[in-house]
């Protein structure tokens, strides 16, 4: 019987190899999961940078009255920003982020209720903004917004 006990030494090697195999599979699955999560987080970060670049374009329009002044009230006409002479020009807002877009006149309507402006005397001139944001890895995002300007 002593000889049978000596033959069990090889059995431990098989058990250790099986345990190492299971641990290797678990480690590989964990690595793949963390790589996928990292890519997902990076894509989300790139999307946010690009969205914020487009949103900065919207804010740019609000701060630049020359894009929605009294002379820009021709229905269907639009002005490109940041450079109307070169509509594809981009305004850089970061190391890899930029924006451009157009402001289009959409017509006029009576002033909204509660605005404090007299109907018949004033008009609400309606405008639409299309702002495109550009970010890392050739990402793009587009925001559309509307606003009005009270005038005659």
How many contiguous H segments (helices) and E segments (strands) does the chain have?
A: 2, 5
| Structural domain boundaries enclosing 119 | 2-151
pTM for the model: 0.74
Cα–Cα distance, 26 to 14 (Å, whole number)? 19
User: Any residues with CB less than 8 A from the CB of 100 and at least 6 apart, and which?
Assistant: 57, 80, 81, 82, 87, 88, 89, 90, 91, 131, 132
Number of folded domains that form the chain: 1
The token pair that represents 88 in the structure block: 């594809």
The per-residue pLDDT for range 27-79, each reduced to its tens digit, is 999 999 999 999 999 999 999 999 999 999 999 999 999 898 887 888 888 99
**Could you give phi then psi for residue 40, rounded to 5 degrees?**
-65, -45
């Amino acid at each position: 019987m002593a000889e049978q006990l000596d033959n069990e030494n090889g059995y431990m090697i098989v058990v250790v190899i099986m345990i190492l195999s299971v641990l290797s599979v678990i480690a590989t699955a964990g690595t793949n999961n963390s790589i996928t999560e990292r890519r997902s987080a990076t894509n989300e970060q790139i999307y946010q940078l690009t969205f914020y670049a487009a949103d900065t374009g919207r804010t740019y329009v609000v701060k630049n009255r020359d894009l929605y002044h009294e002379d820009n009230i021709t229905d269907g006409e639009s002005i490109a920003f940041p450079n109307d002479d070169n509509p594809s020009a981009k305004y850089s807002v970061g190391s890899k982020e930029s924006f451009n877009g157009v402001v289009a006149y959409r017509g006029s309507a009576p002033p909204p209720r509660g605005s404090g402006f007299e109907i018949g005397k004033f008009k609400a001139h309606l405008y639409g903004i299309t702002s495109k944001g550009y970010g890392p890895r050739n990402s793009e995002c587009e925001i559309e917004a509307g606003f009005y300007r009270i005038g005659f």
